[in-house]
Amino acid sequence: MQLNEILVQVVLWGVPLIFAIVLHEVAHGFMAFRLGDDTARHAGRLTLNPVKHIDPVGTIGLPLLLIVMKSPFVFGWAKPVPVNFSRLRPVRKGMLLVALAGPFSNFLQAIFWAIVLKITLPGVMEGSAVAEFLAQMARIGIAVNIMLMIFNLMPIPPLDGGRVLQALAPPSLAKTLLQLERYGMLVVVVLLVSGVLSKILSPLMHWMTIGILKLVGIA
């Protein structure tokens, strides 16, 4: 892959990916703030400034590596927004809402990018280079946000789906799930390397993409 091609791909993927990751974390912090925990606000994390959220490996290194390798999946993460779950009111329902806020932000962003795609399609048909560029970015934005939404909703601690499971589980099981968090990312890596993660994500992403495109009126 030539340098100019790499730069184009970095821009095409970087803009929607950074917004997807940053808004995901801000959504967690904002929901926690609304439910009584201002930890994220005091930490300066309720901001759209990506510098406050960037993780050198998860936000830059890994996505860039996956782009250069032409991976079928490009994902990453930001520095987790600090949340003191004991300060949420009510605690268990608060944990549930805070966990769901991040994936829901990705769902809304996927709809936004689908609308952008719909707006740019007439220009693409007319051969506009700008419209084609924006349409490509929109397609990537849809894919990235759907992937992050589905990935984070996997019921594996410390992913958001694991938090949802903790919030809904009986206290004894929730405590066990909390203790398993240290092994969660190892499980994710095994699923990724083994190809199981791809088999899980691909059909769900396909179904969600079709649904969102139909929602905004794209056949």
The catalytic residues are 25
Do the Cβ atoms of 95 and 166 come closer than 8 Å? yes
Residue 154, SS3?
Answer: coil
Helices 196-215 and 91-125, axial angle in degrees (round to 10)? 70
Q: What is the DSSP string of 43-101?
A: TT-SS--GGGT--IIIIIIHHHHHHHTT-S------PPPP--GGGSSSHHHHHHHHHHH
Give the DSSP per-residue string, 97-144.
HHHHHHHHHHHHHHHHHHHHHHHHHHHHHTT-HHHHHHHHHHHHHHHH
Q: Is the dihedral of CA 10, 13, 16, 22 positive or negative?
A: negative
